[in-house]
Structure 1
Amino acid sequence: MQMKRFEDKVALVTGGRSGIGRAIARRLRDEGAVVITAQRGQDEEFESIQADFSDPRTPERLVEEVAAGKGRLDVLVNNSGMMQEASIEETTIEEWQRNISINLTAPFLLIRAALPHLRQTKGSIVNTGSTEGIAANPRHAAYCTSKAGLHGLTRSVAVDHGHEGIRCNAVAPGWIDTELNQEMIENSDDAEAFRDDIARIHPVGRTGSPEEVAALTAFLAADEAGFITGQVYTVDGGRTTQLSLP
């Protein structure tokens, strides 16, 4: 029987139309939450608001629309993001600023706009960070920087607003079997070899599912995690723990 930890609660999930965000939205809905997603396109499964997170005016408009329409806000999940592959020398200042704007500034502005509402509900925030906010893959300088910043923002919000009953945590997924990652594998020269190689670098012997990230996100957002705040939880099958062979 599915737990109903979010009965009568309202959750806003950015980037909730696909991948990890879709799994989070479904998990919160299945546990009783009224879920609104926000992203560029229309969401055919959930009530949604179209949002361009490169526009700094978007977050406040979005939060106020949700709060006005639903009368409250209990959970904010900052999941929307982007990734660009480029070396530092190849990255233009415009590209750098776009990465930072979408991956870091937008969550900051969403949190800032949501705080008055979360203060009323003793609500919680969960940010989708990344193992690349802890370590780094090649040619991901802007992405790594933005996610490391999001981890820092998570801790700062927890420290500054814990006394108001607001908690803020982050999940840091590693390789997760999203549509985009599956497409990358299928488009490789040897998909079977790619799958074997990527599984081999994980101590658990496989990659992760969006639902596994969603399960942790839901726990952190729920009242039963009331003594947990300011933490970044790695969800990577042990990949970042395992040392490479000599």
Structure 2
Amino acid sequence: MTNPLTGPAVLVTGGASGLGAAVVELAAAAGYRPCVIDRRPPVDGVPWVDCDLADTRAAEAATRRLADQLGGLDAVVTAAGMDVPGRLDALPGDVWERIVSVDLLATAAVVRAALPWLTESGGSVVTVASTLGVKAVSDATAYCAAKFGVVGFTRALAAELAGTVNVTLLVPGGMRTAFFDDRDAQYRPGADAALNDPAAVAAAVLFAIRQPAGCAVRELVVCADRESSYP
């Protein structure tokens, strides 16, 4: 096991909860040095920057700050995400645009800012899309637009960085996290919904970033085998 004081540095957006927190926990246990960009603090001892990822210039600055603090970056995992379901004509414009900013534009901003360090280390990027990045449903125009965008962005990025940085697109199905808690009842998974444990999805993330340079896992679909949003 790698010494956690000198192990590879992994930046996780949204690392204070949900999938991001599961990635932080698993990475730390595996000897990595996780750091986090979030609006809330992660577990004690993990370096972090308080940042609203909808502000993409702030997201870039937070990335550079953590890279400087840790002496570089070996991997980036863009696990931060949000959604407010609703019909297009019922969702306020600022809310619609915030979903796209957090889920798509911040993904690109953080990766862009991290590239100098990732290129130097021969590191890895794992972007987190969704099964709704390959399957469209009603009342999710913002989320689908953003996650379809993450899919396209990541596939183009993989072609652009081939031979320098490993790039993986993660397409998870629904997970048992607080992601659904603030939704109207009609948009919450039912009591019998088949949802994945975020720790299981985090294990797929660790599998991807553990690959040696030049041996990238290009895409991973991870979901419950009976989950209804599977494409």
Same fold (TM over 0.5): yes
**Alignment of 1:219 onto 2:214:** no
Shift of 1:79: 0.8
Does the Cα contact within 8 Å between 2:103 and 2:147 map onto a contact in 1? yes
2:190 is the alignment partner of 1:194 = yes
Q: For residue 21 of structure 1, report the CA deviation from its aligned partner.
A: 0.7
Per the alignment, residue 52 of structure 2 pairs with 52
Distance 2:3 2:162 in 1: 21
**Which letter maps to 1:211?**
A
Residue 111 (structure 1) shift: 1.0
Q: Residue 64 in 1 paired to residue 64 in 2?
A: yes
CA distance in 2, matches of 1:14, 1:220: 17
1:30 counterpart residue number: 29
Deviations 1:140-163 (A, max 9, x none): 110011001001111111100113
Distance in 1 separating the partners of 2:58 and 2:230: 40
C-alpha spacing 1:51/1:223, structure 2 compared with 1 (3 Å): same
Whether 1:170 aligns to 2:157 is no
User: 1:42 is matched with which residue?
Assistant: 41
What's the TM-score once normalised by structure 1's chain length?
0.83
SS at match of 1:127: strand
Gaps of 5+ in 1: 200-206
Aligned to 1:116: 116
C-alpha deviation, 1:122, in angstroms: 0.2
- 8 A contact 1:11–1:73 mirrored in 2: yes
Cα shift at 1:195: 2.8
Distance 1:137 1:242 in 2: 12
Q: Partner of 1:159: helix, strand, or coil?
A: helix
Over residues 60-87 of structure 1, what are the superposed CA-to-partner deviations in whole Å (9 max), with x where a residue is unaligned? 2112111211111001011111101111
State the structure with more CA Rg: 1
- The 3 A distance-change label for structure 1 pair 145 and 59 is same
- Between the aligned partners of 2:154 and 2:141, the Cα distance in structure 1 is 20
Give the AA of the match of 1:209.
D
Is the alpha carbon distance of 1:122 and 1:86 closer, same or farther for their aligned partners in structure 2, counting shifts above 3 Å?
A: same
Structure 1 segment 18-167 matched on structure 2, within 5 A: 18-45=17-44, 46-163=46-163, 165-167=164-166
Note if contact 2:104-2:147 (Cα within 8 Å) is conserved in structure 1. Answer: yes
- TM-score between the two structures when normalised by the length of structure 2: 0.88
Q: How far 1:28 sits from its partner (Å)?
A: 0.9
1:235 to 212, 218, 222: 222
Secondary structure in 2 matching 1:43: coil
Rounded to whole Å, the distance in 2 between the matches of 1:55 and 1:10 is 24
Runs ≥4 in structure 1, deviation > 4 angstroms? 3-7, 240-243
Between stretches 172-181 and 16-25, larger displacement belongs to 172-181
CA–CA separation in structure 2 for the residues paired with 1:73 and 1:214:
19
Deviations 1:152-201 (A, max 9, x none): 111111100113x20111211112111344x579x969x9x9333x23xx
Stretches of structure 2 that go unaligned for 5 or more consecutive residues are none
Quote the Cα distance in structure 2 between the aligned partners of 1:173 and 1:23: 14
* Matched residue type, 1:214: A
C-alpha spacing 1:70/1:225, structure 2 compared with 1 (3 Å): closer
